[in-house]
Amino acid sequence: MDMNYKIIDLFAGIGGFHQAFENLGSKVVFASEWDSHARKTYETNFSKTSPELFESGNFAGDITQVIPQQIPDFDVLTGGFPCQPFSNAGKRAGFEDTRGTLFFNIAEILKEKQPKAFFIENVRGLLSHDGGKTFETIQNTVKELGYSFHYKVVKASDFNVPQHRPRLFMVGFRSDIDDADFTFPEAVPLTLTIEKVLKGKVTTPAGLEKKVGFTLRVGGRNSGVHDRRNWDCYLVDGVERSITLEEAKTLQGFPTTYEFPVSKTQAFKQLGNSVAVPAIQATANQILQVLNKN
């Protein structure tokens, strides 16, 4: 099946979306990420497989400085956008009400470029943020721009990644695309347990066996197993230890060849901010199958 579609990667981080779509045979033709450390990691890894992305000047920094008309044509918009509060000043709860937020930049690009589909993600708390008004505004905005809207809270552990990481996935298709067949992917059995990643029996301080690890986060590293903020310390064969960078990489589904040309602190922060590649890839596959049928 032909999966050679053109993708843009907004709020790109270290390229979890890029990795997922590339694994399926698609090409990222434009990316945007403002953080200098994340940019360095992104370019180090993807300049090998997508050199033209960097040579063409299509690896942008600040999304608010991007002129939508200057983005090359593409099929699918992707991105894990930061959730900012929307003003309730507007009455329409649509496109105009997103001004001043980073979601507005996504909406503007959809409006201008009219791609076939979008796939964006956020924390599951977005559903209830500001009494549900933020989510309602997002939904109304994409519908106003002529797109359908599907959403689901998806756990990384449902796609053979041994960390919970529940995230809100939002997918939409342009009105001329028949998306009646679109469904979020079914969960697969967890064969890669936290014990396999850490190479030993993993238990809680209470002595219960652990199959799924903690959700990788940005803060609270090296907190210890008894700290409620802990996410990187485990009891392995009865001995407390922190996960290594290689193990953290596996917990996000990045390939073993993925490199971090930054400090260990930065690398852990970048992984904590990233998406779990296998969960993204499974959903991306469903999106591309719909596009193939059309």
Q: Which residues are known catalytic residues?
A: 83
What is d(CA 50, CA 230) in angstroms, rounded to the nearest whole number?
37
State the Cα–Cα distance between residues 156 and 166, nearest whole angstrom.
Answer: 7
Instruction: Compute CA distances 186 → 53, 183, 219, 234, 252, whole Å.
Output: 33, 9, 31, 29, 19
Residue 256 near residue 249 (C-beta atoms within 8 A): yes
C-alpha to C-alpha distance for 129 and 137, rounded to whole angstroms: 11
* Longest pairwise C-alpha distance within the chain: 58
C-alpha atoms less than 13 angstroms from C-alpha of 254 in its C-beta half-sphere: 26
Looking at residue 237, its amino acid is D
